[in-house]
Amino acid sequence: MSEHIVDVGKRHIKEINEEIQEAAGQGKEIRVVNTLSRHNLGVGLPDGTKIAFEGSVGYYCGGLNVGATIDIERNAGWACGEGMSKGHITVGGYCGMSCGAAMMGGTIHVKGDAGPRCGVAMKGGNIIVEGKIGYQSGFMAHSGRIIALGGAGASCADALWQGEVWVVGDVESLGVDVNVVEPTAEEVAEVDAILDPLGLKDNSRNWRKMVSGQRLWYFESRDASAWLMI
């Protein structure tokens, strides 16, 4: 497979993404250079695309991904992988706020820390963070898993629906309506199966699995104590 190099620089973002889409349509592997932490790179990439970003990227990189394999060498700005439904994104460093927001499927692997509201309103898929997840990560996650191997910030897993937040290490505080439960052996095996291909499986971990307390699923509007803290 031939490689196509895209030079970002100060070119118009529409021109850059049109070049990326054209190369993807031709089945070429894509390497993006001189990224300058620009926003909106590699949005809506088609299934089967393989693309690598040298350096750091800005907001929304890999958003609306429908099956591409995306490798970001260093850091990513806000909302990396927002709304993705399929594919795999790797962030080599830090990932900004709202990583994987409203994602529906696929995998995001962050090798550093992730900022606040990681996985906010996610509807499926998996987010694996080797470092710490930030404030209010997992907020209103409807489905999917967030797996953090380096602890969590304040208000973790706030207002969860049917998503799960798995954490190894210290948690600064829990959010509203969160239950911490003991995972079953079968559930741990499922998480290990996600981590194993990434070289992150470790049978010695002491997991905290966070799920919804379900109080907010059925609350009465007059029951202010149930919702005013959100």
- The domain that holds 52 is classified in CATH as 2.160.20.60
- What confidence tier does 137 reach under pLDDT thresholds 50, 70, 90? very high
* HEC sequence for 64-99: CCEEEEEEECCCECCCCCCCCCEEEEEECCCECCCC
Mean pLDDT of 96-122: 98
Asked, for residue 123, whether it belongs to a domain, the answer is: yes
Range of the domain at 89: 3-221
> How far apart are alpha carbons 113 and 202 in whole angstroms?
19
pLDDT in tens, 64-83: 999 999 999 999 999 999 99
Q: What is the C-alpha separation between 106 and 66, in angstroms, rounded?
A: 9
The Cα–Cα gap between 153 and 130 comes to 14
Question: In the structure encoding, which two tokens stand for residue 99, read together?
Answer: 């990583």
CA–CA dist 181, 174 (Å, integer): 13
Tokens for 173? 């505080």
The per-residue pLDDT for 215 is: 83
Across the chain, mean pLDDT equals 95
Residue 15 lies in a domain: yes
Total count of domains within the chain: 1
Cα separation of 160 and 177, whole Å?
7
The share of the chain scoring above pLDDT 90, in percent, equals 92
In a domain, 143, yes or no: yes
Specify burial of residue 189 (Cβ count, 10 A radius: 0-12, 13-18, 19+): exposed
In a domain, 228, yes or no: no
**Residues linked to residue 4 through DSSP beta bridges, in sequence order:** 30
- Strand, helix or coil at 37? coil
- Averaged pLDDT for residues 40-49: 97
Give yes or no for a contact between 51 and 24, defined as CB atoms under 8 angstroms apart: yes
pTM: 0.95
* Per-residue model confidence (pLDDT) at position 65: 98
Give the pair of three-digit tokens for residue 191.
């998480």
Domain membership of residue 230 (yes or no) is no
Which one, of 159, 113, 125, lies nearest residue 140 by Cα?
159
Residue 227 lies in a domain: no
Sign of CA dihedral 151, 207, 145, 127: positive
Alpha helix ranges (H) inside the chain: 13-25, 185-195, 224-227
